[in-house]
Amino acid sequence: MNALRKLVDNLKPSFSEGGKLEKLHWVFDSLETFLFTPGHATNTGSHIRDPIDLKRTMFMVILAMVPCLLFGMWNVGHQHYLALGQFLAPADGLMDKFLFGALKVLPIVVVSYGVGLGIEFLFCSINKHPIQEGFLVSGMLIPLVMPVDVPLWMVAVGTAFAVVIGKEVFGGTGMNVLNVALTARAFLFFAYPTMMSGDKVWVNVSTAAGEQVVDGFSGATSMGHAAVGNMAGVVPLMDSFWGLEAGSIGETSAFACLLGAALLIFTGIGSWRIMLSVFLGGVAMAGIFNLVGPGLNNAYMQIPVMHQLMLGSFFFGMVFMATDPVTATQTSTGKWIYGFFIGLLAILIRVVNPAYPEGMMLAILFMNVMAPVIDHYVVQANIKRRVKRAALAA
């Protein structure tokens, strides 16, 4: 580590003012502060000093996503071999499944980070500002919310759109209205719907010579099956808890998401209020459907509450997307309102509208837009209460 510190110190003059590579100062600064704690601190407009800077905060979020990433790699391989009728038990062919999944997932991660950070470097050079750390998390989230068969060029296009239109036009990290990763997914979902939905995109069934996909295999997600009334295609509760189902790369395992949630809550980075309120909103809407489902003869509505919440990306959205500190509400009361409506709308959209069997994306994006309004009315209500108390005290 001392040798690395010495190397960075030797290179620093070239990137400082008057140096040969002065124009790349902010690129060098971002790399230096990523490797080492910054030697400078905020000295205006701040009263709190904290040893954890933004890069370390972002790194902690990435660490929380590692269980989802690793499980996603294994599940990609598991679903692949399941489609071929091989290694049917989860523990069978463990390394074969993981290596197959890694070869499919890692290129998507590389493209996401390569395109996103490339655009970040370009904007920092043009605008002469530090590279903003927000994409460290978004660059990992984007691959995790993609289907395994998404073309790499599509990942590049979606990432570029999300960074430029979803963030940079608003002023960069901290100024964007919509979650960057969900902006990328929403853009691809509506621009290339056949490549982002349907039975064929969730499971990679490319076959080697002589291999055949088993008869009757379908790559549809559990919610895709439920949306068309095929309840036999919905995986059992414990399978959905562990994530043994088709879906986006990193979204299927509620267990892996809960591991990430524990780390985020323990470190104080993720809002437990938002997570809990999203869960309660989902419970409320699923409970309502359980009550009215039998009368409407709708089997999708009659899926038990906990099973309904374990399906699809509900837990992933609850832990990693809804808690985005930039696009979520900032007030404590606002977080309860914001999260509750995300959970409620996610279940409502997925069950009532068969065209969008996964409602978490639209629910979070809608509440991203509503977050400033919620905070505004919460603050105004607090002001009115304080004015009233002051008047009574006088």
Q: Which residues contact 79 (CB under 8 A, 6 or more apart)?
A: 148, 202, 203, 204, 219, 246
Q: Would you state the structure tokens that stand for residue 369, as one six-digit string?
A: 């837009």
At position 352, the amino acid (one-letter code) is V
- For the chain, the domains span 15-28+53-206+234-270, 271-394
DSSP state of 203: S
Distance of alpha carbon 246 from alpha carbon 77, whole angstroms: 11
State whether the Cα torsion 311-316-319-321 is positive or negative.
negative
The residues, ordered by sequence, that sit 6+ positions from 218 with a Cβ below 8 Å of its Cβ are 199, 225, 233
Instruction: Encode pLDDT of 274-315 as tens digits.
Output: 999 999 999 999 999 999 999 888 889 999 999 999 998 999
| The pLDDT of residue 361 | 93
**pTM for this model (two decimals):** 0.85
Residues 114-152, buried b or exposed e (16+ Cβ, 10 A)? ebbbebbeebbeeeeeebbbbbbbbbbbbbbbbbbbbee
**Torsion-angle region of residue 153: left (phi > 0), alpha (psi -120 to 50) or beta?**
alpha
**CA dist., res. 35 & res. 81, Å (int):** 40
Q: Are 24 and 30 in contact (CB under 8 A)?
A: no
Please name the residue ranges forming H helices in the chain. 2-15, 25-35, 54-83, 94-127, 135-144, 152-164, 180-191, 193-196, 222-227, 237-242, 254-267, 272-296, 305-310, 314-316, 332-352, 360-393
For the chain, list residues with pLDDT below 50. Answer: 44-52, 209
The amino acid that residue 281 corresponds to is: G
pLDDT at residue 18, rounded to an integer:
63
Residues 323/264, Cβ–Cβ less than 8 Å: yes
Q: What's the Rg (C-alpha) of the chain? A: 23
Residues 241-281 have pLDDT tens digits of 999 998 899 999 999 999 999 999 999 999 999 999 999 99
